[in-house]
Amino acid sequence: MLYLQLIRTEWTEKSRGGAQAALRNNTPMSLPIEMVDDGKAFAIQFVSCEESLDFLPASRLLRASVQLPSKWACAELAITEGQYRIGFVWDALECGAPKRPDRHLFSLQPGEVGRFRCNGRFADADTGNWFYQMSTYNFANIDRLDADMFINAALKKDISVLEALR
């Protein structure tokens, strides 16, 4: 099973400095997972940490049978010779500015865990005001779920696709 925990922090100019920035910067890179045992090959735990809620994590679990290769937000997922291949695929609506090149990040064999982080700047479609996102993608290629698998795991890869945001 491939398990993805996507933690997305979203903020505006209000949280670029001071006390709000301190709250934003304390957003966790991993959390306990939501357990699932439904026989599907892919599970996604989406965790949202929004400025309007003082960056407190709100989680929802999505389960799916996914045809690979597939794309989830800025991540591209494929399977080759029993390994999950994880890539970064830039998309203006999902990843924000600035543009970055698409690239393969890492492969996970059974039992391995990896992470990548990316950020982006976006413009609100209605107001034109900028907002920002930091996304942490935790992946595990596992047979058995452990609630703390991302917290206690030795990461095979920990990759940054971060850019300076203005």
Q: Which domain holds residue 140?
A: 2-161
pLDDT of residue 65: 66
**Residues with Cβ within 8 Å of residue 1, at least 6 apart in sequence:** 40, 41, 42, 43, 141, 142, 143, 145
Report, as an integer, the average pLDDT of 160-165.
Answer: 93
For the entire predicted model, the pTM comes to: 0.94
Within a domain: 166: no
Provide the domain count of the chain. Answer: 1
Report, as an integer, the average pLDDT of 7-34.
Answer: 93
Cis ω before 69 (30° cut-off from 0) = yes
Within a domain: 140: yes
Identify the CA nearest to 113 among candidates 21, 28, 30.
30
Query: How many C-beta atoms surround the C-beta of residue 74 within 10 A?
Result: 23
pLDDT at 54 over 90: yes
In whole angstroms, what is the distance from residue 41 CA to residue 143 CA? 10
Give me 20's structure tokens.
Answer: 């709000």
Within a domain: 149: yes
pLDDT of residue 59: 93
